[in-house]
Amino acid sequence: MTVGVQLSNRDARELVETIRRAEELGVAAVWTPQGGVMPDTMLLLAAAAMITSRIKLGTSIIPTWPRAPILIAQQAMAMHALAPGRFRLGIGPSTPAAMGPLYGADYRKPLSQLREYLTVIRSFLHDGAVDFKGEFVSARVRLRETIDIPVMASALRPGAFRLCGEAADGAISWMCPWDYLRDVALPALREGAAAADREPPPLVAHVPICLSSDREAVRVAAQEQVGAYGSFPVYQAMFKAAGFGDVAEGFSDELVAALVASGTDDEIIARLAQIRREGAAEIMTHILFVGEDRAAYQDRAFELLARAQREIG
């Protein structure tokens, strides 16, 4: 069990330094996204690998549309060499709203496309050879040796969790309330694994955290820092399926309470421990900031995560 944190920053040097600081304060794992016009996350993690020695490094996520699967695998190979045993690869199709305008992607059949990427990348890395021709990608290549890198995928709705259960080394959630993950995602993940006659892979549960007992401050932080997801149709559908109705006008108090672990340090750790007991194999927290001293707040959050790792990891 690993309690980690998702970090992003448009300033590449600051992000690499933040990862170093996270390791210094005892955080067990860091995940970085590739979103919008942010700097390339694989390059950032490679830089972080050179100034860290213990902390796990993962991508959450690398979008599939802009990169060929073998290119992603080659970048993962470099990360494995720089940080042996510490790197986890997370890929996913992202959303049409992100992939079309930014990369000109012909976004269609995202689960079929993701399945092909998982097939090619996992065969290439884990089996040392791939000979595949699909609707979206083709690859024919051989490695001299196999490379043990977990190849995980993003998942939001039951079909994606079933696909992860069948064809990935783990499922990475995003912005899903824990009850939805427990009651909908985990059964779908297990169903996919059973269909493929394999053990269910781990679920990495994304959990926003806010170091405040002020409910209004937590609600405002959630709305300002992650509330934009309520405007995306794919997330609206997930929230509706989770029982929270229309979120386009903002997050309700009930949704914030279900989505965000907040309160005292003890209360946050208790919530993370509950999520662990109820089925999450790993937790990827997401810091929601309150107050103006972000550096001190972030250090406090890192120390809390290090304590959570010691107590429930």
How many other CB atoms sit within 10 Å of the CB of residue 36? 9
Residue 184, token pair as written in the block = 């909908």
For domain 2-207+268-312, the CATH superfamily is Luciferase-like domain (3.20.20.30)
Q: How far is CA 155 from CA 112, 165, 168, 203, 216, in A?
A: 13, 10, 11, 10, 30
Half-sphere exposure of 121 (CA within 13 A, CB side): 32
Say what the pLDDT of residue 1 is: 86
Say what the pLDDT of residue 313 is: 81
What is the C-alpha separation between 26 and 49, in angstroms, rounded? 16
Domain boundaries, the chain: 2-207+268-312, 212-262
Residue 126, token pair as written in the block = 């884990």
pTM exceeds 0.85 for this model: yes
Residue 45, token pair as written in the block = 């993690």
CA dihedral 265, 271, 272, 276 (to 10 degrees): 150
Q: How confident is the model at residue 155 (pLDDT cuts 50, 70, 90)?
A: very high
* 289 DSSP 8-state letter: P
pLDDT (mean) for 281-295: 96
What would the pLDDT profile of 159-187 be if each residue is shown by its tens digit? 999 999 999 999 999 999 999 999 999 99
Assess contact for 208 and 190: CB atoms under 8 A: no
